[in-house]
Amino acid sequence: MRIAVDSRFLLPHLEGFGRFTKEVASRLVREHPEVEWDLLFDRKPLPRYHFGPAQHTVILPPPTRHWTLYEVWWRLSVPIYLRWRKPDILFSTYGLLTREVGRKIPVVAFIHDVAFARHPEFLPKGWQAYYMRAMKSTIRYSKILIVNSHSVRQDILELFGAEEARIRIAYQGCDMSFFRPLPELNKSEVLNQYSEGCPYLFYIGSIHPRKNPKRLLQAYDRLRERYKEPLRLLLVGRFMFDKGQLSDSLREMRYASEVIFHPPVSDWELLKLYNAAAVVVYPSLYEGFGIPVAEALGCGVPVVTSRISSLPEVGGEAAFYANPYDPESIAEAIYQALTQSPEERALRAQIGRMHVERFSWQETLRVVWNSLIEVAS
């Protein structure tokens, strides 16, 4: 049996989709060498993305970093590949495809979110229209739809009329052998390197309107009117869209000098940043899963997040919750997290670690593999 895997997000710096693809594809290749695995790239991949002898690396241009090139890739490059290699199944790790492909081959699609449908205001019109078009094809033509939370399951039922019988749920994994407490960590070194020697609130993720950075800045200003201890707000991630509006928000802040932006960091640096943080803040307006919440809880760190979409599923009883549309609510939740007693902090850390144990990559892989076998049979 030959299975094709959309692997385009295995890039030099891995973000959400890329991390998911790496964790699942590497396990599939290594644990099922009886299958021929065609990993489909849109450019030459790094050597570290060759996961074993059962893998065939297939490069299909053009590089897809715009929706128009996505269309070319799916409508031209992938159909040519299907006629050439004749795979038995396609695993769409990004959760998108086209009618042309869906009619030619059985597809298992992993849907991470439908933010473009819930919040179209945060995308350029071209991208939003493309995503809607592609998702409709995915829902119609995929044999099995895997979603990463009950929240996304409800979204595709409500917004796209998906057939419930074709939906499977597989939470995204969180590697707790890596995302763990580091009691030996010299936190002062981390603070000196990243936050001017001060305790910090830590945000990790793209700087994007859907992630709610504007209200986070407003909440920080409100928090500092009440919380007088030394503090910084550290945001690590790439700027995406709408940088101008965020600049306007910074100019309006009283405590803008305490806000620090930093580009993406390595996994090891990320682990240290989680562990040294006073509180991890993630007040997103919508998430299919919300991996920073799981990673922070795995590290035993207090988390403030939103009481909407999938985030309560990921945060469980350990996280502090806020209304993400209300800066005062966000500020209050952060204040509660900062001022909890050592006993409460230890208890929440224990509860958080126990809760995150359910998000294992092995369980994700089990659902994916069973879905592929079900389609093959």
Catalogue all structural domains in the chain, each as residue range(s) with its CATH number: 2-173+360-376 (3.40.50.2000), 187-356 (3.40.50.2000)
Report the C-alpha gap between 165 and 184 in whole angstroms: 48
- The answer to whether residues 321 and 262 touch, using CB atoms and an 8 Å cutoff, is no
Please list the pLDDT of the chain residue by residue as tens digits (377 residues): 999 999 999 998 888 889 999 999 999 999 999 999 999 999 999 999 999 999 999 999 999 989 999 999 999 999 999 999 999 999 999 999 999 999 999 999 999 999 999 999 988 999 999 999 999 999 999 999 999 999 999 999 999 999 999 999 999 999 999 999 999 999 999 999 999 999 999 999 989 999 999 999 999 999 999 999 999 999 999 887 666 678 888 888 999 999 999 999 999 999 999 999 999 999 999 999 999 999 999 999 999 999 999 999 999 999 999 999 999 999 999 999 999 999 999 999 999 999 999 999 999 999 999 999 999 98
Amino acid identity for residue 198 in this structure: C
Q: What's the gap between Cα 85 and its chain centre?
A: 31
- The pLDDT of residue 243: 65
Report the C-alpha gap between 333 and 176 in whole angstroms: 26
- The pLDDT of residue 372: 98
Which residues share a beta bridge with 40?
A: 6, 58
- The pLDDT of residue 244: 66
- The pLDDT of residue 16: 83
- The pLDDT of residue 249: 84
Rounded to 10 degrees, what is the CA torsion of 179, 185, 187, 188?
-150
- The pLDDT of residue 265: 94
- The pLDDT of residue 179: 97
- The pLDDT of residue 65: 87
Residues constituting the chain: 377
Report the C-alpha gap between 337 and 330 in whole angstroms: 11
Strand order in the sheet with 2-6: 55-59, 36-41, 2-6, 89-92, 107-111, 144-147, 167-169
- The pLDDT of residue 120: 94
Report the C-alpha gap between 6 and 2 in whole angstroms: 13
- The answer to whether residues 100 and 74 touch, using CB atoms and an 8 Å cutoff, is yes
- The pLDDT of residue 13: 81
